[in-house]
Chain A
Amino acid sequence: MKNLDSVFWAYILGWAIFFGFYLSIAKRSNDLRAEVERLKKSTSRSTGEK
C-alpha cells in the first residue's frame, strides 16, 4: 500500500472541488429563484397600480 496517501488526497481534493462547485450552483439557483419571486411581485404590483 505504498503512496496510498497520495491517491486518497487526489480523490478527496477532487471530490471537495465537485462538492464546492455543486454547492455554488445550488446557492446561485436559490438566489435567482428569490429574485424571480421578487420581480414577479413587483411587476404584478406595478401593473395592478395602472
Chain B
Amino acid sequence: MAKRVVLCAAAVLLVIAAAYASFFIAPEERTMGDLQRIFYFHVSCAWAGLTAFLIGFASNLLYVWKRNEKYDWLGVTCAEVGVAFTTIVLISGPIWAKPAWGIYWTWDARLTSTFVLWLLYISYLLLRTLVEEPNRRALLSALFGIFAFIDVPIVFGAIRWWRTQHPAPVIMGGPNSGLAPGMRPTFYFAVLAMHLFMWFLISERYALEKLRGEVEVLRREAETS
C-alpha cells in the first residue's frame, strides 16, 4: 500500500512539474508560438502509449509460451492503459491540428495508423468480453494482441517512410531532424514523467486484474462446494 502511495505521489508530482516546464520553462517556438506547447503532452503520451503496447506484446508472447495467467493479466492491463494514452493522443492531435493545419483530421499515414492501432486494441478488449472460459480467453486475446502489435512499428515508421500531412520526426528522424536544444530538457523530462505515470496506471490496473483472478478462483470453489 505504501509503495503504491509513493508511486502515485511521485508520478503526479512529476507530471505537474512537466506541465509547468512545458508552459513556463520551454522556449516559445518561432512559427507556432504557444500552440507548440501541446507537443510536450501529445508526444509524451504517444510514447508512453506505445511503451505500454510493447510491454503488452511481450506479455502476450510470454503467455503463449509459458501459459502463466500473470502474463495474461499484464497483457490486458497494458492494452487498457495503452488505449487510454492513445485516446489522449487522438484527441490532443486534432486540437493541435486545427489552428496549425486548418483542419482537425486528415487520413494521413501517421493519423490513420494511430487510429487503426486504437481500433485494434479496442477490439482486443472487446474480444475478452466475448469468451467466458479463462484459458481460452487468455490464449485468444494473447494471439490477437500479438497481431495488433504489428501496427506499432507502422505507427513509428509512418512519418519516416511516407511524407504526408503529419510533421517529420524530431527525435530519431535522421540527420536533418532534431529538436531545438532549449526544448530538449523539457521534452525528455515530460517523457520520463509520463512513463512514470504510465507505470503507476499499470500497477493499479494490474492489481485490479489480480483481484479478478481471485474472484474467478473463489467462484469455482463456491460452485464445487
Contact = CB atoms under 8 A, between A and B. Distances in A.
Q: How large is the interface on A (under 10, 10 to 19, 20 to 34, 35 or more residues)?
A: 20 to 34
Nearest to B205: A25
B41 A46 contact: no
B88 A18 contact: yes
Q: Is the interface of B mostly helix, strand, loop or mixed?
A: helix
Interface of B: 19, 23, 32-35, 37-38, 41-42, 45, 84, 87-88, 91-92, 95-96, 98-99, 197, 201, 204-205, 207-208, 211-212, 214-215, 218-219, 221-222, 225
Contact of A32 (B98, B99, B211): B211
Contacts of A4: 34-35
| Most chain A C-beta atoms within 10 Å of own C-beta, residue among B32, B207, B211 | B211
Q: Is the interface of A mostly helix, strand, loop or mixed?
A: helix
Interface of A: 1-4, 6-7, 9-11, 13-14, 17-18, 21-22, 25, 28-29, 32-33, 35-36, 39-40, 42-43, 46-47, 50
10 shortest A-B CB distances, which residue pairs? A39-B218, A3-B35, A10-B92, A32-B211, A14-B88, A10-B95, A21-B84, A10-B38, A46-B225, A2-B33
A13 B225 contact: no
